[in-house]
Structure formats: structure tokens, C-alpha cells
Structure 1
Amino acid sequence: MSEQTRDRAGTPDGRTKDPGGPAPLPDAPAPLPDAPAPVGDLAADTETLARHTAEGERLLALLPPRPERTDFESRRATALHDACRAARQAFLALHADAVYDALTAGRTLRPRLDELAAAASLRFPGLVPDAAQLAEERDRVQAHKEGRDIDQGLFFGALLRSPVAGTHLIETMLLPAPGSAAHLTEFRRSDRLELPSVLVERRGEAAHVTFRNAHCLNAEDNRLITDLETAVDVVLLDDRVRVGVLRGGPVTHARHAGKRVFSAGINLKELRSGAISFVGFLLGRELGYINKMNRGLLRENSPFGAVSKPWVGVVDAFAIGGGMQLLLVLDRVIAEEGAFLSLPAADEGIVPGLGNLRLTRHTGARTARQIILSGRRIHTADPAADLLIDEVVPAAALDEAAEQAVRDLAGPAVAANRAMLTLAEEPLDLLRAYLAEFAVVQAHRIHSPDVLAKAERHWARSRAGTEAATTGRAAT
């Protein structure tokens, strides 16, 4: 073994070598100098940022892929990323509004999150990951990624901190998603819309939205988030519909096979495999379909403001994580006897969406902390369930309870009053300020060592369970 190879691999007994002296390893790149401070001129600062981040990427490319790095090389990669991120933050601190104006033609265009990030990668090189970097990340499991999501989080966090850019971006995401108009035509023709993971059916004045991610207990993944935004758009755009109803469909999991389940929250297998999109899922769900349900749907050039309608949730079995977060924006929650709600995000290591913003309004501060920080489950028999669930009924009575809720909420003044309640409870500036910090914190959390380790353990347990079940079937 050559001395250079020995430095890369570690000591002969397999321990990673830690260079305690001042000299770097022979094959390690030199550290990246601090970027020059921005001068306040957009063009000049854009050029400086591009040069600095390009040098950082050049030095990063000299290192092995993340899973093959020694401890020292991992620290060097972290230092390179940190130096580039410090430059991006300094740039955005001065130019967030100017950047947004450049990307939206002075706020006359309405690019969605993914379109905005893609445009920024071309107009301001080095500010956010480009298409090639994102494509490379998509092919890696979460633990092997470089963490490009963090750079996207910094970008959107800076935009959302701005009252001008942030408000415009939130309003943009309240507009109908691409393709929703075509799906509305289909729904009006047949009173039924089948999407890959969601079914929408009109029954009188109600539109019933059913989650159909049966293979994973109706857990959330990129596909379900996209389909739910389309479904919510269709419900809000169809003037024959007065009330939306959400419910989980039957699942195929061995323990619950054939039974309805509301939602198991984020799909941890997908998170581990790197298939959960930061922009499309973790940020997009909050600014997209959930915010539309809460605040209403905007229509470009419409003089009538947002279209708001009441929503009913029917909880079979459980509403975990994102499922429970969803209940916090609904107007009526009905649960079967024995169901439970939980927000296990602290145990998983991530932030439970906007649960931290909204839960306290329902439960008060102390109970909210118990649920979010300690993972307390709220069962239907728990006195605290009255703060989150309007009605608990036997499973056989859920359909009738949902129909009664639709009748109760179909009145013409309900939509206007729920919109005013949302305005009082969650002013737009409060939402914007929370989302700005959430974008940054969540991007860091999904790449933190504890989250990666927990995702790997969950995946290993799930894989072992699947193998055991397969072995058992083969034996019989």
C-alpha cells in the first residue's frame, strides 16, 4: 500500500487516520478562502458568487463520493459546502428582492417553486443547484447525497423572509397547479376523477377525496402530494361542490389489510432512498394543497378573491405525522372509536410541517409540546381528543357522520366565515415568517446524521419484516 493510499484508507488496522498536524493530506484539496463581501451591485455580486461557488465545486469534485470519504475528507467537504453557503446567504441578504424581481419580470410572472429554482440556477449561477447537480442527487440514497436541498432551503428561506417576494410567492402557489383545468373538465363530465394515488367523487354537494396509497398505509410521497394538489384544485374550482371530504382508502399492509387507514405520514422508505423531494414535497405541500385548503384557491385576474370551501376529515385507524398536520386545517374532524393521532417528527428528527404553528391554537402550549417534543399520542378516549376531534363514532357510523357534517357545512355563509377565521388565526405575514424559517431548518434536518441513521434503521427493520413474511409464506 502506498503512503498516499494509506492516508486515504486510514491506518493499517482500519481506523480512520486523523491528521492532527497542520499539513493537509497529499490528495486533499486546499480549503476554500472566504468569499469577498458583496458590494451591493447585483451584477458584480452575481459574478463574484459564481466564481466563488465554482471554485468550491471544483475542490469538492476532487474528493471521493460521499460514502467513500474518510473522516478528514468528510470534514473537508463540509467546510467547502459551508463556505459556499455563507457566500450565498450574504448574497441573498442584500439581493433577495432583486433576485426575485429578475426571475419574475418584476412580479409579472408566476413561476412555481420548481420553476423558480430552475430559473435561478441559470440566471444566478451557483446560487442554487443546477439541473445536473439535482439529477446526480436523485440517483443517490439520502445518506449519500451532498445536501443540495440545503442550498434550495436557503434560497426559499431568503425569499420568504421578504414581505414583497414572500407574499408574491405564497400567492403564486395558491393558484391552480398546471393541468388542474383539464382534470376539472373530466370531473365535471363524469363526477369522478381517478389519479394515480387519489380518487375524487362528487356526491351531491360534497366532493369525496380518497387517498389510495394502499401499499404504504396511505403514507405521503411525491406522487400523493402532486395528486392531492390536483384534487384540491378540482374541488375548489367546481362550483357544484360546497364541501370537501378527505378519507383514507383501504390498504394492503398485512396488519390492516382491506381496512381503511387515514394516513401514516411521510413515507420513511422513500425518505431513506432519497426519493422525497424537498421543493416538491416538503415545501410544496405546505405552500400548495394544504395552504389552498386553509386559505382558498386564487384565480388569476379574478375580482372575487380566493375560493374557500369547508373541509371534513374522516379518520379511520390513525392519522400520523402529515396526516395529523392535515387535520389542523379542517373544519370538522370525525374519527372512529379507537383511532389515534400523533406527530412523531421529533422522534424521526424532522419538523412536522406547519404543525408547530397550528397545533397550539387547538390544544394550548403544554399539550402541543407533549405531542411534538415527546411524541404523545392522542387516542379518541383521551380527554385531549376533544381539542382535535369533533366527533367520535363507531366505524359503522362514519359514513352517516360524514354526510351529516356535509349538511351542516354546506350553508352559503360557511365559506366566507371560515375564510375570516383563517385570516384571524393565521395572518399571511405570520405564515410567511414561519415558512421562511421552516424552509431552512427542514432542509438541514433531512440531511442531519440523526435523521439519516433513523431512516436507515427503519428501512432495515422494514426489510427484515418483509423478508420474514416472504419466508413464512414460502414455508406454508
Structure 2
Amino acid sequence: MSEHIEVRRDGPVLEILFARPEKKNALSNAMYRAAREALEAAQTDGSIRVVLFGSEGDAFTAGNDIADFAAAAAGGERREPEAFRFIEALGRAEKPIVAAVPGFAVGVGMTMLLHCDLVYVAETAKLSTPFVNLALVPEAASSLLLPLRIGHARAFAMFALGESLSGAEAFTLGLANKALPAAEVLPAARAAAKALAERPLGAVLATKRLMRDVAGILARMGGERQIFGERLQSAEAREAFQAFAERRPPDFSRLTS
């Protein structure tokens, strides 16, 4: 268990909280592992009926810890990233998932919301998927799910141009159930999780299965995963992360695809 992941029980609701507020809850490999293990354990624990993802501080998560990406791009130790295992666990999860998003949701912080069944977001939250800015590609089957939710043009702008959405816009586009003042987000998510836990679990699980093409989602995750790994080893990615470390704009003009 990571010290930056807090797991709580509230009756039939399991809360998984990102608890690294000093780093905007940027996710390390250890955090991904701890969150995945808690999520997977919930699937086989008959006393847990709902999973809630939340956070400490004023951000949901700033996404993957940039140091992990930079190490991979620089040719560091090649290992199975815990991020992909966490993402796959989201895709396979059978029990309903609720999310409370009080602020920044970047990268996987945004794409994981596509696997949550109820989402409560701060009106002033900022949701973004700046994968292309880092010379990478989308993950978590978001290349499939986000265009289905908000349309190709808006999704492509988020991916390729790094455009963001406010919490209010996310609600309008159907990415969130409610957009609220930040202080009301976690209480609203907890109330929804408790209400959901009171519903007949068999019917809830069957409804979620009918609404999701799990095989298609996992297949898209696999395709994204392969290309993501290739992109991490590209000259473009090395330039992107070197520029980030040097606090300068990247220059891709001399690089080919």
C-alpha cells in the first residue's frame, strides 16, 4: 500500500483517495499499484457494493508523475508500468464507480472518469488530456470513449491541441452528473454512492454490464498501450521531456514522425 493512497470503508462503500496534495496528487507507480489492488479487492469482497474515487487537496490528480515518463523516454529500466494495470482494472471493474473531482484532472485523471458510472465535479475544475503535447497518445480506451461521449471534433481538440474543459463544460457535455462548488463535490459523491449501495446489487451490476462493451474497451486499451509504449521511446518524446526538465518550449520542427 502506498502512503499516498488512502483507502477507507464507509459501510458498503469503499473510498480510494489520492493523497499526495503537495504534488497535486500526481500518480507514482506505487500509487497506481495501491489503487489497483484496492479496486480489484473490492470486486471480490461481497460486503462492498460501490467504489468511490476522491482526493485530498484542491486537485483530483495531475496525472502520471512526469518523472516516470521522463525515465522511460530516456531509456531507463523497461518494466510493465503500473498505470496500465490500473487502467485495465478500471475497464474490468464490475461494481459501480463514483468519482469526486474537486479540481485539476489531467491525463489519466480525466480519462479514468470515462470508466466511472457517476461523476461529480467542481464547476471550476479543469479537465485535460495533453497527451500529444508530450508526444504520446491517449490511453484508458479514451481514443474510443471520449469521441463517443463528446464528439470527434471536441475530443480531437482535447487530445491534439491540449484544450481543456471546465467542470461546468464537462457537465454540459455529459461527462459529469453535476457541477458544484468545490466544497460540495465530495459530499455529493458520497451521498450518491450511499444511495447507489442501497439499490439491488444484482440489477445494478447487470445494468452496468449491458451499458459497457468490456471486450471492445479492453481491446482498445491494448492497442493504445502498444502505441503508447512505442511513442515513449520516440525522439519526439525525448525532446518533450527534456524540454519539460529544462523549462523551455519543445521544438519538434526538426523531427519526423
Question: TM-score normalised to the size of structure 2?
Answer: 0.85
Structure with the bigger RCO (C-alpha within 8 Å, sep 6+) is: 2
Structure with the higher fraction of residues in strand conformation: 2
Answer whether contact 1:378 1:385 (CA < 8 A) is retained.
no
Give the deviation of 1:384 after TM superposition.
Answer: 6.5
Q: Secondary structure at the match of 1:210?
A: strand
Question: 1:246 & 1:405 partners in 2: Cα distance?
Answer: 12
Contact persistence 2:119–2:189 (CA under 8 A): no
Q: 1:366 — aligned with what?
A: 153
The Cα shift of 1:245 comes to 0.7
* SS of corresponding position for 2:246: helix
Whether 1:197 aligns to 2:1 is no
Partner of 2:253: none
* Offset from partner CA, 1:412-458 (integer Å, 9 cap, x none): 12122112211xxx251x33542443233112100111111111121
Match of 1:285 in 2: 86
Say whether the 8 Å CA contact 1:220–1:264 is kept in structure 2.
Answer: yes
Cα contact 2:4–2:19 (8 A) shared by 1: yes
Question: Which amino acid in 2 is paired with 1:415?
Answer: L
Match of 2:211 in 1: 421
Matched AA of 1:419: R
Deviations 1:338-378 (A, max 9, x none): 11111000111111212102112211222211211221211
Shift of 1:324: 0.4
* Pairwise CA distance, 1:276: 8.2
| % identity of equivalent residues | 24
1:271 aligns with 2:58: no
Give the letter for the 2:123 counterpart: E
Which position in structure 2 is the counterpart of 1:314?
A: 100
Tell me, what secondary structure is at the counterpart of 2:168?
A: coil
SS at match of 1:279: coil
Separation of aligned partners in 2, 1:317 and 1:195: 22
Pairwise CA distance, 1:272: 1.5
Distance in 2, Cα, partners of 1:408 & 1:380 = 23
Distance across 2 between alignment mates of 1:200 and 1:446: 31
SS at match of 2:247: helix
Q: Following TM superposition, by how much is the alpha carbon of 1:246 offset from its aligned partner in structure 2, in angstroms?
A: 0.3
**2:168 partner letter:** A
**CA distance in 2 between partners of 1:383 and 1:313 (Å):** 13
Whether 2:230 is the aligned partner of 1:444: answer: yes
For 1:242-391, what aligned pairs fall within 5 Å after superposition?
242-250=49-57, 260-274=58-72, 279-287=80-88, 289-291=89-91, 295-296=92-93, 308-353=94-139, 354-382=141-169, 385-391=172-178
* Bigger Cα displacement from structure 2, 350-359 vs 398-407: 398-407
**CA RMSD after TM alignment:** 2.2
Q: Is the 8 A contact 1:198 1:231 kept in 2?
A: no
| TM-score, normalising length: structure 1 | 0.47
Q: In the alignment, is the contact (CA less than 8 A) between 1:220 and 1:266 conserved in 2? A: yes
Compared CA separation, residues 442 and 396, structure 1 to 2 (3 A): closer
What are the residue-to-residue correspondences of 1:81-160 with 2, within 5 Å?
Answer: none
User: Which residue pairs with 2:41 in the alignment?
Assistant: 234
Cα distance, 1:398 vs. partner?
A: 2.1
Unaligned runs of 5+ in 1: 1-193, 251-259, 297-307, 463-476
The residue identity in structure 1 corresponding to 2:66 is: L
Q: Which amino acid counterpart does residue 56 of structure 2 have in structure 1? A: G
Q: Distance in 1 between matches of 2:226 and 2:151?
A: 26
Amino acid at match of 1:367: R
Q: CA deviation at 1:385?
A: 4.1
Residue 460 (structure 1) aligned to one of 234, 240, 246: 246
8 A Cα contact 2:125 2:167, kept in partner: yes
For the residues of structure 2 that align with 1:367 and 1:414, how far apart are their CA atoms?
A: 31
Q: Give the aligned partner of residue 77 of structure 1.
A: none
AA aligned to 2:122 is E
Give the conservation status (yes or no) of the 8 Å contact 2:18–2:54.
Answer: yes
For residues 210-225 of structure 1, the aligned pairs below 5 Å read: 210-225=17-32
Within 2, Cα distance between the matches of 1:285 and 1:350? 18
Extract unaligned runs of 5+ from structure 2. Answer: 249-257
- Give the conservation status (yes or no) of the 8 Å contact 2:12–2:49: yes
> Following the alignment from structure 1 to structure 2, what is the Cα–Cα distance between the partners of residues 277 and 223?
16
Query: 1:178-209 deviations in whole A, cap 9, x for unaligned?
Result: xxxxxxxxxxxxxxxx6432111111221111
CA distance in 2, matches of 1:460, 1:231: 37
What amino acid maps onto 2:185 in structure 1? L
Call closer, same or farther: CA 1:286–1:380 in 2, change over 3 Å: closer
When you count helix as a share of all residues, which structure comes out higher? 1
- Secondary structure, in 3 states, of the residue corresponding to 1:200? strand
Size of the aligned set, in residue pairs, is 241
Structure 1 CA distance for aligned equivalents of residues 195 and 126 of structure 2: 25
User: In structure 2, do the counterparts of structure 1 residues 384 and 248 end up closer, same or farther at CA, with 3 Å as the change threshold?
Assistant: closer
- 1: CA distance between counterparts of 2:224 and 2:167? 30
